[in-house]
Amino acid sequence: MSMKVTRFGPWGGPGGDYRDVQVAPYRLVRLTIRSGDTVDGISFTYIGIDGLVYHMGHWGSDGGVPHEIHLGLMDFVMEISGTTGMWVSGMSNVLRSLKITTLKRTYGPYGNPKDGIPFSFSVDGSDRITGFFVRAGFITDAIGVYVRHC
């Protein structure tokens, strides 16, 4: 599995601890987003460029409602979008909402898309969003993506 994998982002604030994948991601299999008034936490399963399966997270808190996204063999994440902004007065910039768009459908938005500054990142052609890195503590402060270029 030889190809180029590039990181983009993150979008959000500087709070929380840096969390990242173990091996560069080849294919995203499953994603769980926990949300309420903000994006509370994230976890995902991916196949690495070494062919092994990795389970990452849970990054952030166990608060909010879990939303699971299972990607079929012919479905890929093509775009993430959402909002970033203040959550509680005096708290740093955090990930307020997140929407995931695949080849087959759109999931979300999860969290509160009415508050904050919008962001969006998409890929074209045969490129795929294959994984994530975040800054997270009590909630998800920021999110970035890995893109596999085919």
Percent of the chain scored above 70 by pLDDT? 97
* pLDDT, tens digit, 9 for 90 and up, residues 66-122: 999 999 999 999 999 999 998 776 667 899 999 999 999 999 999 998 879 999 999
Is the confidence at residue 59, as pLDDT, over 70?
Answer: yes
* Contact partners, residue 125, CB within 8 Å, separation at least 6: 150
Global pTM value:
0.93
> In this structure, are residues 149 and 127 in contact, taking their beta carbons and an 8 Å threshold?
yes
> In this structure, are residues 43 and 27 in contact, taking their beta carbons and an 8 Å threshold?
no
Range 26-29 contact pairs with CB under 8 angstroms and sequence separation of 24 or more = 26/1, 26/51, 26/130, 26/148, 27/76, 27/128, 27/130, 27/148, 28/71, 28/76, 28/77, 28/128, 28/129, 28/130, 28/131, 29/53, 29/70, 29/71
User: How many DSSP H helices and E strands does the chain contain?
Assistant: 0, 12
Domains and CATH numbers, the chain: 4-149 (2.100.10.30)
pLDDT at 88: 77
